[in-house]
Structure 1
């Protein structure tokens, strides 16, 4: 008896709503609880301007990704697009950037869970969270989508409470929303790069291309919907918190949203915000592990990573070995790294990933008007990547070089083996 599909293929179970929720689970997550403070510290009164710049770059990236995903509905996202449109090396570079950058994101989200749940044992809690969510993903992508839906609902409710409390308090002052640039142009761009970390979740929709129904219709609809909802939420929250704390107070806040509701005169809401932050980080971590494991699967299929990672579970129809491998690496990082460093390094890697996406989209149409969005996206990614803190740029560039060297060595060995066989 023959099967209707290969045992190595994934099951298409996700509709538009599910795909939007997966993207929101990555975007409307811990980034809004953690990134506002550092971004305000860099941009000062230019925080909202930095948010707008990050949104423009994210929109260009989302548009390019949606067009490409409709043509190439397979697991791997820009790894696949770069390979098909630009060549094997560029696809590999995108995949490498995504896997290392988002693995760092996973560690940052896990540590955020630990910091809010049990600050004194943040690393231990982070590792436990990684293990638990890897087990959830192992059980099937539909279970992951349902859990993400519940998490998104909780987080949006908490953020709505923060906005209402801040804007309705006597401490709110619209004068604090002055869109200046006290941090200078460099500070605004650095803030945009840091805030981009919170926007990048729509990539998860593209990397699940092999698991959505009717991908040519679903993905182009889901990506802009998820991005638009996230932008609206971020803008409301940023404006509400700024109106209470101001850019200086926000830049110095260790827990910006909790500090904002306390300053607004409702300290009883602080525990709720802390729970919301932990739940948000769990949602981001769940979707991140999901996306990284699918790109790992795609790269393993092309032998850029060990072939053993291509296995798909016969019952759950998930790349279970890739998920276990990603979970193990993230658990090790969560036990050892610092959350702020992980965010900067992650942003650099993900911006490099989207630079390849925009370059790939540039090849889809020769009409000048059709190339405006990918050109703006490509230049935006490059500018934001090199506006990040110096350490993040140095480490990120170094890791990309390591990946390029590994690629070159693998090609050289393969070439010698091929020559020896003749």
Structure 2
């Protein structure tokens, strides 16, 4: 029976499908905004405000594409906090995590207040007057939604599905009828007289006003750890939710400006959509839109509570805030304490009544988060971390995240000064908390990244010169479990001689020598294959067989009685890979071989590349520890060198195996030539060349 700590800190289960993920994004975005903004936007820019929603949706898509790539590589709860903390460290991650948490708490309180307003108006439309009970209704609904989320993620997801489907049905019917009416397919056409009555500059300022409509799709990433098949469903949900919402907003504005004059819409302000519905379909339409507004604010509040609690959960799990907050309820499988931590301040804020300025602070914090998501992807594409592998890649490589960062941070300039000051105040408090209460943190890599470089059956090629054969290092091969080995016997052919002529002349002798080598391996419990080749270019031949055989590594043939250590010289920024880490794990875990990581740099210290290599080496050390390899087996050291081959020779003994990662910045032919003509000539021990990830499966 597991102990209590295991129960408390067990992982959240993946219970959310694509539908639930989509509705979290759509439900968060299609909130009060679709009812509030059309009237305000039309008053500022007329029908041209459709361009504002289009531009805002375009910016949101830039962030959605960037976030989708990060989410498929790191599908963990916490979303932006998780990405930023793993790339820029705990300090930056903590600030982003607080931004997500506090921003969503404020937004949830705003949505609940909007819900209570719609409920009061709907009941008044039906002849029931509740009086001034807005605050009490918001407070009560906040408690109910928090309780529903505590009862289970799947239940909250189903509620979200039902609410958003009902909302979408009402909106599609109303907007569909409005479009048919405006274009004259039903009755007489009533298109807007002027597209841009105030010119096109207000389109940009209106974009800043309405961008809060798109705050929500990234919240899907906050619950990534609970989404089924995340590599496919995360990108589909994030990008799909933005596109759906953008089309809904454009339709809402077009229908509004077609049904009523811009001046009348501006005068109605927040209740403009009710007036539009009444104009199109009478009191029934007004009741329908009030019902839709009720559902919209409810779905936004529910999705924000769910997402915010996962941001808190991730912060607590990484010990940024008290660890018990990330406890998972034994019965319901939800982070109940994290939900309470979200629910208490959220319901408290509803008691303030009108909190529009707090909603804008929430928008400020979200824009910071969005910008940092894009900056994180830019940093990843620049650094190319050895552990990073995304199943979804953004279009245009650099273009999407760069534009996303520029527009996200740039929109902040169009906000009210007070909102900017309050937003920076929240960030300042979070930094102060971090400095005072957060201790040094060592992060492990995402679960999928760790799984990605697990090798179930290592595939290794050993090249043996059949003219002067060396013994294959059996001592190393014994350390592998479930090994698949290809012994590639070769004889070098002068360029002026054809391989066919050489084979006719030397094939019998070569086969006999190769058989002797293979006989020495018969006692090994491995999947053994062999090939005999005659070639003028050994490096090219090894390259060819590496691709055809889908090999993970190439081992040089040098006799060795035993293996006492794995020596891993790190001298290239692009040399470290997931596959190198996986091979080291496979060897160390199965045979308790010590690993010596040696960072080799030129005697001119302090270069940026040296700093990056140091950081990458530390990441590998950290991951080897998290893989269960004893810290006593890992030794790390730094040396300044003039000549790589000479330095490796001085460090290696005859009982070592030198493990090298194939660097990304060299063609494989050139790298093999370097190994055989450089480092190998200086060594008496074998070299294990671990190939680049993309060259083998």
TM-score (norm 1): 0.90
Question: How much does 1:8 deviate?
Answer: 2.4
Structure 2 counterpart of 1:69 = 71
Are 2:247 and 1:232 equivalent residues in the alignment? yes
Q: Which has the higher strand share?
A: 2
CA distance in 2, matches of 1:131, 1:234: 30
- Pick from 226, 251, 276 the counterpart of residue 292 of structure 2: 276
Which of the pair has more CA radius of gyration? 2
Structure 2 counterpart of 1:134 = 146
- Pick from 15, 18, 25 the counterpart of residue 17 of structure 2: 15
Q: Render the CA deviation track for 1:62-113: whole Å, top value 9, x for unaligned.
A: 0111101111111100000001122222211211111111111101100011
Q: Which has the higher helix share?
A: 1
Moved more, 96-105 or 75-84: 96-105
Contact residue 118 and residue 125 of structure 1 kept, 8 A: no
Contact residue 50 and residue 191 of structure 1 kept, 8 A: yes
Contact residue 171 and residue 263 of structure 1 kept, 8 A: no
- Pick from 361, 379, 385 the counterpart of residue 345 of structure 1: 361
- Pick from 170, 174, 193 the counterpart of residue 191 of structure 2: 174
- Pick from 17, 36, 39 the counterpart of residue 37 of structure 1: 39
Unmatched 5+ stretches in structure 1: 416-422
CA distance in 1, matches of 2:222, 2:64: 13
Secondary structure in 2 matching 1:175 = coil
1:69-218 matches, within 5 Å, as 69-118=71-120, 120-167=132-179, 168=181, 173-176=190-193, 178-179=195-196, 182=199, 185=201, 187-218=202-233
Question: How much does 1:191 deviate?
Answer: 2.4
Contact residue 96 and residue 403 of structure 1 kept, 8 A: yes
Contact residue 47 and residue 192 of structure 2 kept, 8 A: no
Structure 2 counterpart of 1:325 = 341
Q: Render the CA deviation track for 1:366-385: whole Å, top value 9, x for unaligned.
A: 49941111111111111112
Are 2:258 and 1:243 equivalent residues in the alignment? yes
Structure 1 counterpart of 2:234 = 219
Moved more, 41-50 or 148-157: 41-50
CA distance in 2, matches of 1:88, 1:291: 20
Which has the higher relative contact order, 1 or 2, with Cα contacts under 8 A spaced 6 or more apart?
A: 1
CA distance in 1, matches of 2:363, 2:41: 13
Structure 2 counterpart of 1:418 = none
Contact residue 329 and residue 335 of structure 2 kept, 8 A: yes
Question: How much does 1:188 deviate?
Answer: 3.2
Q: Render the CA deviation track for 1:347-380: whole Å, top value 9, x for unaligned.
A: 1111111111010111232499411111111111
Unmatched 5+ stretches in structure 2: 122-131, 385-394, 441-697
Structure 2 counterpart of 1:419 = none
| Residues 252 and 393 of structure 1, relative CA distance in 2, 3 Å threshold | farther
Q: Detail structure 1 runs of 4+ shifted over 6 Å in the superposition.
A: 169-172
CA distance in 2, matches of 1:164, 1:326: 38
Question: How much does 1:44 deviate?
Answer: 4.6
| Residues 165 and 258 of structure 1, relative CA distance in 2, 3 Å threshold | farther
Structure 1 counterpart of 2:273 = 257
- Pick from 40, 48, 51 the counterpart of residue 49 of structure 1: 51
Secondary structure in 2 matching 1:370 = coil
TM-score (norm 2): 0.56
Q: Render the CA deviation track for 1:268-308: whole Å, top value 9, x for unaligned.
A: 32122111101111011111000000000101122222222
Contact residue 14 and residue 212 of structure 1 kept, 8 A: yes
Question: How much does 1:339 deviate?
Answer: 3.9
